[in-house]
Structure 1
Amino acid sequence: MAQEKQILELTKQLEASSKDDKATATILLKRAQVYESLDEISRATDDVQTALKRDPQVQAQASELLSRFSAHKLQQEPTHRELEEKDPRAASFEKHLVDLESSKDVAGIRRFVSSNDFVLVLTACGTPDAPPRIKSLSFMILTRLFNPQDDSKSYPMAFIIEQCAACFSHCIDQGKNESKLLAYRTLTAIFQTSMTVGSAILCQEGTIEEMMDVVEFETAPVQLAIAEVLTIASSDKSCRKQILKYATEWLAKTAGQSKTDPQLKAAAGTALSKLRAQSDLPADDDIGTSGVTEATPTLEETMRKMNLTNDTLIDSLKDIIRSKSSNGTLVLNAVEGLAYACLQPDVKESLGNDKEFLKCLSTLAISTANKDTVSSNPLLFGIGTILANLTMYRPVMDEHQKQMKKLRDLANAKQRQAAAGGGGKGGGGSAAKQEEKEDAREDDKAVDARIKNAIEQGAAVALVVLSKNSSVNIRAVAAQTYLNLVTPQATRGQLLQQGVVRGLLPLSHDANNGILASQALAKLAITTDPRIAFVGDTILDLVGPFLTLCKDSSQLRQFEGLMALTNLASVDDRVRLSIEHAQGMGVFENLQLSNNDMVQRAATEMVCNMTFCEPVFERYSDPSKSQNRIRLLMILSDHEDPATRRAASGALAILANSPGTCEMILKVDKCYERMMRWLSLEETAEVQHRGIEVMRLLIQHQGKPVVNEFVNENADEKLTEIVKKCQVQVVRSAAMEVLKLFVQNGVPLKA
């Protein structure tokens, strides 16, 4: 009683001192301690947190109290683990899982599926508040049952499906709301573990039809459970046909009504978005066997009938994200719906140009990731998928792919014309032409704009948290989105400032998604000073990922990997040594033989760069090891591409400082004839300069015999022309230096 009086007194003091932050904080801390003595820990915690907001200087005392409250709460409440250990299902489920993993006893599987224990497993899957361990075990059991490791014909899959269907029907037939909820939630769980089993249950004759006949008379929770079943089932072709026939009218009506429960409205919108995204659904395929007739209204017609447009559908889902709702299921449904819908150009434009939505989406990713729960993974995957789709560039197609797209566009045009009630040839031709025309909302310029908006609204920061997730799929969408974001050169500086390397580097070493992250890092390394972009030893961590790019089958990735390594190696000898230790030279030498001129050039530039590395220089200068390497450089120095000639002649100019290299150069067939082409007045100044340097070193190491051979090829005349006509002083000076060596070796120069 005395404590309650204290509470009242302190509350009055709070009202009197509400404008004084310091006094208010002190009173709140006193009241928190009284609440603690009454075991009202939640109220005590609220008071301490409010005190901290009013006066941050009470941090020390507040931290001590909060720590004490947490310890007190832990002593009073049993842990999840303790509760689960007391649950008799845990031991039973664990035993069944072990039996399923180790046994191939068909009779035993039949006995288990016929038992009450199997009903308990299904019940646990369909109960939202089941303890995490129990739910996890039940899902593992279903996964193992529905996905046998062996494809033995004796495996009782048909019997398993029959038992699951019987349980579903039994719950529905009871007519109670709790039973129906359990049935539909369990069916959703079955779909999550096996689309085949889920489809077999839902596609039983009359099931969807009967479900939709009574759906409007069901309670809101049951309707929500039905909408979630329809959403996940839409991924299956057989289910999708049944849903399009029987369920779209209710879905469109539910999604379009303003008075509908927000959670149910979002679930219906998600199902519709997913159905609309199935653009590959054949118009007349298997109509006879599916039960869908030509008289079945299209989804667009049904939505139009219910006054529901795609824009209003998308806007309603966007509003949920912008509202920052704390309802996890509501937000998840909205994100999933938008993830499917944003495959369409109009939705990409709507989402990608809505800066408020993009900001809320990025914030949602960060706050969800901070919860660090496995259940948040579907939400994070949905967010990542939206960001990836919004920033994805149109793929470059080869001729075969272009022809296939034309045929597909023509078929789609005819289908849409038929749906709109058209019929004449003229209308069909016009629609086909419209389809053949590329949508401007998918053009690079439009994608560039969406990427700019996404980066400005925090997408790169959101990707950092996605890249740290344990889910392979989430890391995959993060890697793809990173690659999309760095594709426009204009965004790279801003992304580096936002710490994009922090998220990309761990991904680049990922066994599943490393290639995409490595490609994104390569784009950054190609156009940015590595000393600024990659601090400290980070630059060394990039060698492995970039070499992996060089080994990829894609010539674009090979080229980008080579260019990135060239840029890194040009500024740090540690990088060159790291590349050498990673056996990189063998990779570059193979790529010098590529049939792609750009890859061949980049590989030769990389070899040139690596000649500054002492172990490489020594190996290339050893006649017993590198005659073929020098021959290849001589051949490439005569390449039709000026940049390749420059790189190859540059490598030779460096290596020719070694007598061994000079010896190998002279063994190359037509070596003097090749070198004379370096001195052509039509040649670039860079190649002329490198060629003259090779000549100087050859004379220095080999003496008069080399001079005589050069004179036989009229090298003295070519050098004299360069001195007279070349506009680059350093090249003229080098030519004069070699001419002096000619004179020293008894060659008279012509005026």
Structure 2
Amino acid sequence: MSSSSTSDTDPAVAVLDAVLRRTQDKAWVSFAPDELAAVFSAFSPQRPVAVHTKGYLVLSAFCQRCRSEAPTPEEGTQVICRTFDAPTASRIADTEEPEALAGLTFLSALFDVDHLSASAIFTRDGTLEAVMDALDLFSKSRAVDLAVAHLLGRAAAHKACRALLGADHRNWLEWKSRQADDAELRAAAAVALVKLGKGANADAAEVGGAAEKAAMEDDELAALMKRLVVDARETSPLGDAVEGLAYMSTSPAVKEALSADEAFLRRLFTLVPKRKGAGAELVGESAASPLYGVVVIVANLCVYRPRLSAEEAQIAKLRRMAKTSQGSNQSQDQQEENDPLDDDDHVQERGRRLLKAGVMEALTSAVRATDSRAVRSVVGKAILSLVEDKESRGKVLQAGGAKALQTIIHSILPPSTSSNSNKIVQMEKDDFDAIQALAKLAITAAPVQVFGPNEGAIYDAIRPFALMVTHPNASLLQRFEGMMALTNLSSQSAEAATRIARADGLTNKVELLMLEDHTLVRRAATELVCNLVAGSEEVFNKWGGDRDKAAQGKLQVLVALCDVDDVPTRLAASGALATLTASPDACEGLAALERERHRVLPILGQLIDPSVVARPAADEGVEEDEDEPDALETVPGLVHRGIVCMRNLFVGVQRRSKAEQMELAWEADRVGVVRALVGAVKGCGQNPSSPILRPAAEALKWVLEHGIEIAV
């Protein structure tokens, strides 16, 4: 008889369906006796998958109700325990095997749904003893052995429960993991051993003690579970083996072994359903779900060590020193942190092996197969690691990685409405992984390659990139990459630039980042402003007014950035000024700054020829930047921009009096700007079609008309 027909005729199904309907009733607070019995029996191995699923739904609904209505988490745990503690204990201690199985499998399921209440029941006096007594009472029952192995595996993931598991429990698990008759039991016992070993090392690290030696070595356990994945023909041992590898794949040695086995990788990737509804029983958020386990393994294999800021690195160093001062040995976690197998070169090579084995097809299928936020979040993290290698980005794009990332981002971001436009969008640090991965692709590829020919997809990407720039939970690196991606998008069309300029809080944040000490961040912010000034009329007007003190302050920042020791930043800042000086208002603003501070003409003149233009004096009361160069280099792009700025400035101050214009011309001659312009014109003698010749000649004509003699 098939599972579906069995579940249709099972009386417990009707009871569970009725309970599911009752969970929607706000007055529902507890189970009737027959309902409680149906929930406990739903997880027994004899029940089909459909019944297990309904049991999980009912259990989850009840636990969520208890937690939402309880004043504190502790009281919520107490309410759940009052409902399930006694029935669980009585069933596990029952002398009838079906009842004992119901108690054991129910407690395992409760760990999946609400580990706090499950841990409270497991750590209650007598529970663990009853579990081990069941092994003696039903010593020939393969089902009981398997249920106990699964339960110990669930418990081993939690510190309070793990503390109760001693040598006898480890020895039993090791014995079962070494037997060769039952692959499913072998896998379940091995997973429990892995969790015990990892947990014991973490516990030892917390208290500054030495890690315990595992009963089985990591490489032995990993090899066992890898064989189970490659050879298994049933879902259950696959699930346990994948879960175990998900835990073990944090070890650098295991990462290398798994990534080097192409046959294993290809078999692992076949566990991912190709579409939603295919293998639906595999889709879930728990570590025991093969789909979740597969993407976790992939993410672990290709993840890079965290890039720590100077402050974070110092804090980590102090923590290690504190543990060393307590007389502890280096923990396993610390050894893994320093393992050469986890350096950038090894991680990059593992990522390339995964791509060769077809990992992107598996990851994109995982996004299509489930709406699970947990699965999609891990997929985003995995793709972020893969695109860290610039040479791999093309392969990720070809396999549909950008589309998968857009799907993940769409499911993460809350809808944008006018009512919450001024509020901070609730996002965690992990939520930015997919956005950052898409930004990396958008930085190194043309927008049409990343988003396709539909401009709507480009517009949809603006909001997440803008959020990554403005959100307080984003890192400085993420802000940098968000600005770089937006710079590329802004060059696509005027509409794209306008939409970027209108993103909530973006332009204000970018203006602050233009003053950032970090050279690359400052450069990215300036390049984005340059593109927005050229592409968005709103930004052009915002930055180019003369009567607006805020606009004049923005012009002053751009002038200052034309004088920094970073050529790309100077190119972007002078490019923005070359565009803005097409407006008479901006020219008036620059003329006012020159009269007030006497730095505009020297700085713009140095773009043309730093060898003849006097270096501007520092503002009164402002210290010189120690990193400021003694002599700026001549760069063709800067020469062109500087000449356009000077020409526009001279021609654009027509509203000023004749005397003020002559004063400006005199000052330009005094600081060397006129000599720089003459030199530029002379340099075009062999190239009459040079784009700088005409604006330079027009600038010189203006100064001639305002009383300056030009020495040829």
Shared fold (TM-score greater than 0.5)?
yes
Partner of 2:290: 379
Structure 1 residues 163 and 519, CA gap change in structure 2 (3 angstroms): closer
Do the aligned partners of 2:251 and 2:336 also contact (CA within 8 Å) in 1? no
- Mapping for residues 280-299 of structure 1, pairs under 5 Å: 280-283=201-204
Corresponding residue SS for 1:364: coil
- Over residues 475-496 of structure 1, what are the superposed CA-to-partner deviations in whole Å (9 max), with x where a residue is unaligned? 1101111111111111001111
Structure 1, unpaired ranges of 5+: 1-39, 43-76, 288-293, 304-308, 417-430
Partner of 2:356: 456
Partner of 2:606: 677
Corresponding residue SS for 2:534: coil
- Verify: 1:529 aligned to 2:479, yes or no: no
Structure 2: distance between partners of 1:441 and 1:623:
59
- Verify: 1:700 aligned to 2:613, yes or no: no
- Over residues 280-300 of structure 1, what are the superposed CA-to-partner deviations in whole Å (9 max), with x where a residue is unaligned? 53339899xxxxxx9xx9863
- Verify: 1:475 aligned to 2:425, yes or no: no
- Mapping for residues 634-653 of structure 1, pairs under 5 Å: 634-653=559-578
Structure 1: distance between partners of 2:207 and 2:388:
42
- Mapping for residues 129-278 of structure 1, pairs under 5 Å: 129=48, 131=51, 134-140=54-60, 142-144=62-64, 147=67, 149-151=69-71, 158=78, 161=81, 164-209=84-129, 211-212=131-132, 215=135, 217-257=139-179, 259-278=180-199
Partner of 1:21: none
Structure 2: distance between partners of 1:591 and 1:688:
26
The residue type equivalent to 1:337 in the other structure is G
- Verify: 1:596 aligned to 2:521, yes or no: no
Structure 1: distance between partners of 2:205 and 2:152:
22
Structure 1: distance between partners of 2:356 and 2:484:
28
- Mapping for residues 536-555 of structure 1, pairs under 5 Å: 536=453, 537=455, 538-553=457-472, 554-555=475-476
Corresponding residue SS for 1:593: coil
CA-CA distance at 1:359 after TM superposition: 1.4
Do the aligned partners of 1:410 and 1:435 also contact (CA within 8 Å) in 2? no
Do the aligned partners of 1:84 and 1:134 also contact (CA within 8 Å) in 2? no
Corresponding residue SS for 2:215: helix
- Over residues 27-55 of structure 1, what are the superposed CA-to-partner deviations in whole Å (9 max), with x where a residue is unaligned? xxxxxxxxxxxxx9x9xxxxxxxxxxxxx
CA-CA distance at 1:250 after TM superposition: 1.1
CA-CA distance at 1:364 after TM superposition: 1.3
Do the aligned partners of 2:67 and 2:76 also contact (CA within 8 Å) in 1? no
Corresponding residue SS for 1:462: helix
Corresponding residue SS for 2:228: helix
Structure 1 residues 543 and 454, CA gap change in structure 2 (3 angstroms): same
Do the aligned partners of 2:92 and 2:130 also contact (CA within 8 Å) in 1? no
Larger deviation, residues 473-482 vs 664-673: 664-673
Match of 2:18 among 75, 87, 91: 91
The residue type equivalent to 1:87 in the other structure is A
Partner of 2:393: 492
Structure 2: distance between partners of 1:140 and 1:240:
24
The residue type equivalent to 2:545 in the other structure is D
Do the aligned partners of 2:302 and 2:386 also contact (CA within 8 Å) in 1? yes
State the structure with bigger RCO (CA 8 A, min sep 6), 1 or 2. 2
The residue type equivalent to 1:621 in the other structure is G
Structure 2: distance between partners of 1:262 and 1:436:
30
Partner of 2:621: none
Partner of 2:583: 658
Structure 2, unpaired ranges of 5+: 414-426, 612-631, 655-660
Partner of 2:37: 119
- Verify: 1:310 aligned to 2:218, yes or no: yes
CA-CA distance at 1:688 after TM superposition: 2.9
CA-CA distance at 1:644 after TM superposition: 2.0
Structure 1: distance between partners of 2:16 and 2:692:
89
Do the aligned partners of 1:254 and 1:260 also contact (CA within 8 Å) in 2? no
Match of 1:352 among 256, 259, 270: 259
Larger deviation, residues 494-503 vs 631-640: 631-640
Corresponding residue SS for 1:300: coil
CA-CA distance at 1:396 after TM superposition: 2.2
Percent identity over the alignment?
A: 29
TM-score (norm: length of structure 2)? 0.81
Q: How many residues in Structure 1 have an aligned counterpart in Structure 2?
A: 638
Structure 1 residues 192 and 147, CA gap change in structure 2 (3 angstroms): farther
The residue type equivalent to 2:526 in the other structure is T
Larger deviation, residues 706-715 vs 521-530: 706-715
Do the aligned partners of 1:90 and 1:133 also contact (CA within 8 Å) in 2? no
Match of 1:319 among 227, 243, 246: 227
Structure 1 residues 86 and 170, CA gap change in structure 2 (3 angstroms): closer
Partner of 2:318: 403
Structure 1 residues 78 and 162, CA gap change in structure 2 (3 angstroms): closer
The residue type equivalent to 1:276 in the other structure is G
- Over residues 707-737 of structure 1, what are the superposed CA-to-partner deviations in whole Å (9 max), with x where a residue is unaligned? 2331233322333455568999658735455
**Greater percentage in helix:** 1
Corresponding residue SS for 1:87: helix
Do the aligned partners of 1:486 and 1:492 also contact (CA within 8 Å) in 2? yes
Partner of 1:633: 558
Structure 1: distance between partners of 2:206 and 2:649:
75
Do the aligned partners of 1:84 and 1:133 also contact (CA within 8 Å) in 2? no
Do the aligned partners of 2:409 and 2:434 also contact (CA within 8 Å) in 1? yes
Structure 2: distance between partners of 1:436 and 1:164:
41
- Over residues 665-688 of structure 1, what are the superposed CA-to-partner deviations in whole Å (9 max), with x where a residue is unaligned? 111132334333334133432323
Do the aligned partners of 2:282 and 2:291 also contact (CA within 8 Å) in 1? no
Corresponding residue SS for 1:302: coil
Larger deviation, residues 178-187 vs 191-200: 191-200
The residue type equivalent to 1:191 in the other structure is F
Structure 2: distance between partners of 1:191 and 1:355:
34
Do the aligned partners of 1:146 and 1:197 also contact (CA within 8 Å) in 2? no
CA-CA distance at 1:498 after TM superposition: 1.2
CA-CA distance at 1:229 after TM superposition: 0.2
- Over residues 43-79 of structure 1, what are the superposed CA-to-partner deviations in whole Å (9 max), with x where a residue is unaligned? xxxxxxxxxxxxxxxxxxxxxxxxxxxxxxxxxx979
Larger Rg: 1
Structure 2: distance between partners of 1:195 and 1:603:
46
Structure 1 residues 657 and 461, CA gap change in structure 2 (3 angstroms): same
Corresponding residue SS for 1:743: helix
- Verify: 1:716 aligned to 2:645, yes or no: no
The residue type equivalent to 1:631 in the other structure is Q
CA-CA distance at 1:637 after TM superposition: 2.1
- Over residues 643-665 of structure 1, what are the superposed CA-to-partner deviations in whole Å (9 max), with x where a residue is unaligned? 22221111111111121111111
The residue type equivalent to 1:533 in the other structure is V
Corresponding residue SS for 1:750: coil
Corresponding residue SS for 1:717: helix
The residue type equivalent to 1:630 in the other structure is L
CA-CA distance at 1:598 after TM superposition: 2.0
Structure 1 residues 411 and 206, CA gap change in structure 2 (3 angstroms): farther
Structure 2: distance between partners of 1:249 and 1:713:
86
CA-CA distance at 1:455 after TM superposition: 1.1
Larger deviation, residues 587-596 vs 402-411: 402-411
